[in-house]
Structure 1
Amino acid sequence: MTSLLSLRSSILGDAGVSNQLVDATLAALRDQRPELGITERNLGTAPIPHFGTDAVAAMGGDPRNPAQADALALSDQLIAELKASDVLLIGAPLYNFGIASSLKSWFDHVMRAGETFSYSEAGPKGLLTGKRSIIVTTRGGSYAEGAAREMDSVVPHLRTMLNFIGITDQSFVVVDRLAFGPEAKAASVAAAQVALAGLLGLRLNEAA
């Protein structure tokens, strides 16, 4: 691993647990892997514009006006950041059973034919093979079992989009029960810290 792209999508800023876990992980990486190149995007505080008519038109051919040119330039930049990374680290809280709209917008701009996927007679093919993704997904309740399992669209949605662009190496760190009281929250966060440290080969005392 030589480069990492980090995406935060919590709207809660420093109070967001997914942001806290991503921030702590990046701090540990900078301390223990100073040679690692890290690119960060905080989609909660600096959201990507939602995919609109100008973006759609720009992806289909040469931009015809400044707005389309800007949309294409943004897509180019986001794709370049993704292509340059070996690892994609995503903070993805669950909002109303799905991902934040800002994170969906990021995917809308990077899921681009000819750049991150292609079409063939055999169907679509992801072009970003060989990359790793680690997704920290937080939620106040628990959606692991029973009928509630069907209400969590975060994991299947992200898995589908990542698979589509060729990032099939996926590790999901699910941090649940955050609204079940201080003890349950602390236990969930501690378990997530252990999982993240293991996935990235970090010393736990410095990843916490």
Structure 2
Amino acid sequence: MPSMHIVDASPNPYTSVTRELTQAFAQEAEALDPALSVTRRDLGTNPPPHLDIGTIGAFFTPPDQLTPDQVQMSALSMDLIGEFLGADLVVFGVPMHNFGMPSGFKAYVDHVVRPGLTFQLTETGPRGLVEDKRLIVVTARGGYYVSDEMRALDNQESYIRAIFGFIGIDDILFVNCEGCDIDPEARQAAITSSKTRLSEVAQQLAA
């Protein structure tokens, strides 16, 4: 595992469960493999802007026809795509907000999932262009999503699997830290359990 890119989406820089978990995973992975290259992107404290008509127009303009303004409009998107494609393993830290995800993470997706760069439209349908990529998604949920009724409300995991599967990634592991808002004991138990699972993953990757 020569390179890992961590994307934290929580807007809470102080007591975020997902930040605590991605940090613990990164520390163990680096300890197991000192040669590991780790990069980070903080969407919580520095979220990408939501797309506007100008940026969308730049995305659909051929590269050799971009105006200087359009180059600037699409610069962040190109940076985010470069970070994403440049890593062997991408780790997302994504808290659940209203059964989905923080708006900053959705904006990130809109900057990364782009025709001609991460997927291709063909006569037979869309084709993902991202190959040989592993994705770990660390989530934090206030309640438990184990019953059929609660699973039906979980739009987070289904969306992330769908959108990143769309661009070609089928190696996606979810570590869902659930029950974080039940009480302090449940929160700590969930964090401890998730850290144990992530430690197992780090050891498997380093083996």
Please list, as runs of the form range in 1=range in 2, the aligned pairs for 1:1-208 lying within 5 A after superposition.
Answer: 1-61=1-61, 62-64=65-67, 66=69, 68-201=70-203
> Are the aligned partners of 1:28 and 1:202 in contact in 2 as well (CA < 8 Å)?
no
1:206 aligned partner: none
- 2:172 alignment partner AA: Q
The alignment yields a C-alpha RMSD, in angstroms, of: 1.5
Listed one character per residue, the Cα deviations across residues 101-132 of structure 1 (whole Å, up to 9, x for unaligned) are 11111110111111111122221111111110
Name the SS of the counterpart of 2:95 in structure 1.
Answer: coil
The offset of 1:202, in angstroms, is 6.8
- 2:151 alignment partner AA: R
Name the SS of the counterpart of 2:78 in structure 1.
Answer: helix
Q: Residues of 2 paired with 1:181 and 1:133: CA distance? A: 30
Q: Residues of 2 paired with 1:55 and 1:200: CA distance? A: 38
Q: Closer, same or farther in 2 for the Cα pair 1:53/1:65, shift >3 Å?
A: farther
Listed one character per residue, the Cα deviations across residues 39-65 of structure 1 (whole Å, up to 9, x for unaligned) are 100100111111111210101113335
Listed one character per residue, the Cα deviations across residues 86-115 of structure 1 (whole Å, up to 9, x for unaligned) are 101000100011111111111101111111
After TM superposition, the structure 1 stretch with the greater mean CA deviation from structure 2, 182-191 or 158-167, is 182-191
The ranges of structure 1 where at least 4 consecutive aligned residues each deviate by more than 4 angstroms after the TM superposition are none
- How many residues are treated as equivalent by the alignment? 202
Listed one character per residue, the Cα deviations across residues 138-162 of structure 1 (whole Å, up to 9, x for unaligned) are 0111122131211111000100111
- 1:199 alignment partner AA: V
Q: Residues of 2 paired with 1:21 and 1:202: CA distance? A: 17
Q: Residues of 2 paired with 1:193 and 1:148: CA distance? A: 24
> Are the aligned partners of 2:142 and 2:182 in contact in 1 as well (CA < 8 Å)?
yes
Name the SS of the counterpart of 2:152 in structure 1.
Answer: helix
> Are the aligned partners of 1:63 and 1:72 in contact in 2 as well (CA < 8 Å)?
no
Q: Residues of 1 paired with 2:125 and 2:11: CA distance? A: 36
Q: Residues of 2 paired with 1:156 and 1:71: CA distance? A: 30
The offset of 1:69, in angstroms, is 2.0
- 1:4 alignment partner AA: M
- TM-score scaled by structure 2? 0.92
> Are the aligned partners of 1:32 and 1:202 in contact in 2 as well (CA < 8 Å)?
no
> Are the aligned partners of 1:129 and 1:168 in contact in 2 as well (CA < 8 Å)?
no
The gaps in structure 1 that reach 5 residues or longer are 204-208
- 1:143 alignment partner AA: Y
Identity of aligned residues (%): 34
- 1:176 alignment partner AA: E
